[in-house]
Amino acid sequence: MSPRDLLLVEMLFLGLMVVVLVSGTPYHPHIQKRSGTFGSPCAQVAESSAAAMRENVFGNIFFFFRFKILLILLPKLSQQSQQNWHMIALPLFHSTNKKLQILSMQLFLMWNGNLVKHYKMCYLQSLIELDIAYVKSPPQGYLMPAVDIWGGFKKILSNIESNVYANEHAFQADLFASFNAVHDGHFRFLPDLLSKAVSFSRPVSLVSVSKDGTELPKIYERGDILDFNGIGNFNTTKGNSSLPSEVVKINGEDAVTYLNSLAQLGALQDPDALYNNMFFEMAINAQNWGGYGGYFAGDGRFGLIYPGPNTTLEFANETINVYENQASVLGNFTQVTDGETFYQRFCTGPHIQKTWSNITYPFPPPPPLPPVSVEPAVGFPVPIVISGDRQVSGYFLDEHDPKYADVAVLSMLSFAPNFPIEFQSVVETFISKARAAGKTKLVIDLSGNGGGTILVGYDAFRQLFPTIIQDGFTRFREHEAFNILSEQISMYSTKFDATTADNEQIFAYLTPPNYHYDLNETNQRFLTHEDKFAPREFNGDKFTANMRWNLNDPLTTINTTWGVGETITGYGNRQNFTQPFESIDIVMVRACPCLICFF
């Protein structure tokens, strides 16, 4: 490798380091302290959170408490809030460092080997690998607005140089929004100021409901719907006997318009999915073991977005409810007393040096198979069979309505089980029980399924459609740094031997820049580096050949440290399955939130 090549690779990993560290240089902010005898707002948060921890009867496992928004992050709030709290302004920390951060991100994003090695799978976070040119000039039928990624970074740099940002929060919020604007769940950056100290929420959840199944859905406060159905009193004074009144305005704006606008701050790639995620969703609630309120309420990444001090809902019956928004403490505020100590605690990044270890950590053994648990997921009926982590379960509808005696329902809350082999066993067991019970129709319920381990989805698909070989293609955008990387990793892996390899060698072998590992479109091995990495030009960019996993490789499949821990249906000893349901008799229900594993 030439000195120039070494410099390119060094610059690449320097960029990665800076992205991780975010803002690593100390600063000396001008601090405005609240007058009085209670200390600064930071100190009050520290004292209150410590008290909450002391009073937590369940121990210091998890806690949160509520306080008036916003104590420390924003200098400008409503007059009412400023009367209650005197804000500490965190100025924009050293503009030179911010420009370095943005430039480092650009360098990082130019690298199309954006891989995250999960201890079970190698996920390909492929937006930057493929879509820079496409999202800037989308093809016909693309559902989201065009986004110029590089132009967005240039604008942020210009704003820094022109002193547009009044404070650090404004800068980080703009940076966060620029990533979300691409609407790809894997193209993400969580700024430290927004993600480490506190999260925001509204103490009210919304639902979209059709009263009779034919009327167009309307927006309701979830507490009203629960009350109307006799399920407790949640944030409402209307009472069980009153027909719920729909929400017509939020913060003075038409409710649908407001939610559609708010939804655009999300990262999903489908406008319907973005809108749906504003609301409470039973399947996502079950994934979270209860306690989910929807993105409008501040769940998911919307907890990073400041919602203002209050939320006002206006109803069709002219009722107006005003809710004080809340913040939950995420970080440790011990010894945080002012703006400077706040920054040092939360905004200087991790100080961790990566080292390789040859200690292996195999996945713990799964529970007995087939699973015997029938405890339902939160809000779901008693299943025929269910996994211990409640991620996959099966139901017969005739237990609830004899008109549907021939219908089975397979619910997959995610493709991220604790034990993939248990997930596989539940699907196989349920199919067997459904066929034995004479079920001829299947509903595949993917409501709220956000994806997970791709090969778990592959296996479920092949159990239902055993004769269809899934494509699963990916490709990478090429440039000089990636080509250097692929040449070196492929050379390093030439004499790979799985029986003697250490962790570093296995990691390198399993990465896409190694041509020895993947298969081509016809399920054959790439014979040379050129075979896989000779550039193919599309839309003004250069790409690798299409590639797919080798699902006969035990490192990818049955290995419990590097693989998924199971043989994928359709391969090895899981071949010659029979399709259990006719395709015409299968209906799939989904809400489009899936990020990495589409079914």
User: Residue 240's domain is classified under what CATH number?
Assistant: 2.30.42
Any domain includes 85: no
Any domain includes 80: no
Under a CB-based contact definition with an 8 Å cutoff, are residues 592 and 270 in contact? Answer: yes
- 206 plus 139 within the same structural domain: no
Most confident of 24-33, 42-51, 487-496: 487-496
Tell me how far apart the alpha carbons of residues 434 and 443 are, in angstroms, rounded to a whole number. Answer: 12
Any domain includes 572: no
Sign, CA torsion 286/289/294/300: negative
- 109 plus 169 within the same structural domain: yes
Distance of CA 433 to the CA centre of its chain: 34
Is the pLDDT assigned to residue 178 strictly greater than 60?
A: yes
Is the pLDDT assigned to residue 126 strictly greater than 70?
A: no
Q: Read off the tokens for 556.
A: 């990818």
3-state helix, strand, coil in the chain (%, to 5): 35, 15, 55
Is the pLDDT assigned to residue 5 strictly greater than 60?
A: no
Which 3-state string (H, E, C) describes 476-512? CECCHHHHHHHHHHHHHCCCCCCCCCCHHHHHHHCCC
Domain final residue pick, 154, 189, 224: 189
Q: Which residues, including other chains, have CB under 8 Å from residue 550's CB and lie 6 or more apart?
A: 517, 518, 519, 525, 556
Tell me how far apart the alpha carbons of residues 80 and 87 are, in angstroms, rounded to a whole number. Answer: 12
Q: Read off the tokens for 197.
A: 């100290």
- Kindly state the percentage of the chain with pLDDT values over 90: 47
Any domain includes 367: no
Is the pLDDT assigned to residue 196 strictly greater than 50?
A: yes
Give tens-digit pLDDT for 461-482. 999 999 999 988 988 888 888 8
Any domain includes 534: yes
Total domains in the chain come to 3
Distance of CA 18 to the CA centre of its chain: 22
Q: Read off the tokens for 424.
A: 């596989």
Task: For the beta carbon of residue 322, count every other beta carbon within 10 angstroms.
Answer: 10
Beta strands in 316-362 (DSSP E): 320-324, 326-329
When pLDDT is cut at 50, 70 and 90, the band that residue 24 belongs to is: very low
- 243 plus 137 within the same structural domain: no
Beta strands in 251-296 (DSSP E): 253-254
End-to-end CA distance of the chain: 43
Domain final residue pick, 189, 215, 237: 189
- 213 plus 157 within the same structural domain: no
Location of structure tokens 């359709």: 570
- 224 plus 141 within the same structural domain: no
Any domain includes 210: yes
- 12 plus 149 within the same structural domain: yes
Is the pLDDT assigned to residue 503 strictly greater than 70?
A: yes
3-class SS at 271? helix
Q: Read off the tokens for 421.
A: 């082999």
Most confident of 235-239, 426-430, 541-545: 426-430
How would you classify residue 529: left for phi > 0, otherwise alpha for psi between -120 and 50, otherwise beta? alpha
Q: Read off the tokens for 521.
A: 């479109």
Q: Which residues, including other chains, have CB under 8 Å from residue 237's CB and lie 6 or more apart?
A: none
Average pLDDT over residues 46-66: 53
Is the pLDDT assigned to residue 114 strictly greater than 60?
A: no
What long-range pairs does 226-233 form, CB within 8 A, spacing at least 24? Answer: none
Tell me how far apart the alpha carbons of residues 162 and 159 are, in angstroms, rounded to a whole number. Answer: 5
Q: Read off the tokens for 539.
A: 């839309």
Give tens-digit pLDDT for 209-249. 998 888 899 999 999 999 888 775 544 444 455 679 999 99
Any domain includes 521: yes
Average pLDDT over residues 574-584: 96
pLDDT of residue 39: 62
pLDDT of residue 8: 36
Cα distances from 366 to residues 253, 387, 389, in angstroms, run 51, 11, 11
Tell me how far apart the alpha carbons of residues 540 and 244 are, in angstroms, rounded to a whole number. Answer: 55
Any domain includes 38: no
- 15 plus 123 within the same structural domain: yes
Burial of 33 (0-12, 13-18, 19+ CB in 10 A): middle
- 209 plus 312 within the same structural domain: yes
- 211 plus 321 within the same structural domain: yes
When pLDDT is cut at 50, 70 and 90, the band that residue 361 belongs to is: low
Beta partners for residue 395, in sequence order: 409
When pLDDT is cut at 50, 70 and 90, the band that residue 595 belongs to is: low
For 454-478, letters b (16+ CB in 10 Å) and e give bbbbbbbbbbbbbeeebebebbbbb
pTM summary value: 0.80
pLDDT of residue 52: 66
- 18 plus 164 within the same structural domain: yes
Tell me how far apart the alpha carbons of residues 415 and 597 are, in angstroms, rounded to a whole number. Answer: 7
Q: Read off the tokens for 25.
A: 């240089």
Under a CB-based contact definition with an 8 Å cutoff, are residues 300 and 277 in contact? Answer: yes
pLDDT of residue 84: 37
Mean pLDDT, the chain, rounded, equals 79
Computed on alpha carbons and rounded to an integer, the radius of gyration of the chain in Å comes to 26
Give the structural domain span for 501: 480-543
- 215 plus 170 within the same structural domain: no
Tell me how far apart the alpha carbons of residues 19 and 105 are, in angstroms, rounded to a whole number. Answer: 6
Under a CB-based contact definition with an 8 Å cutoff, are residues 529 and 486 in contact? Answer: yes
Tell me how far apart the alpha carbons of residues 414 and 395 are, in angstroms, rounded to a whole number. Answer: 17
pLDDT of residue 46: 73
When pLDDT is cut at 50, 70 and 90, the band that residue 261 belongs to is: very high
Domain final residue pick, 156, 189, 222: 189
Q: In this predicted structure, which of 125-139, 179-193, 279-293, 522-536 has the lowest mean pLDDT?
A: 125-139
Beta strands in 114-223 (DSSP E): 115-117, 122-124, 198-201, 206-209, 218-221
- 299 plus 209 within the same structural domain: yes
Task: For the beta carbon of residue 486, count every other beta carbon within 10 angstroms.
Answer: 22
When pLDDT is cut at 50, 70 and 90, the band that residue 366 belongs to is: confident
Higher pLDDT, 106 or 43: 43
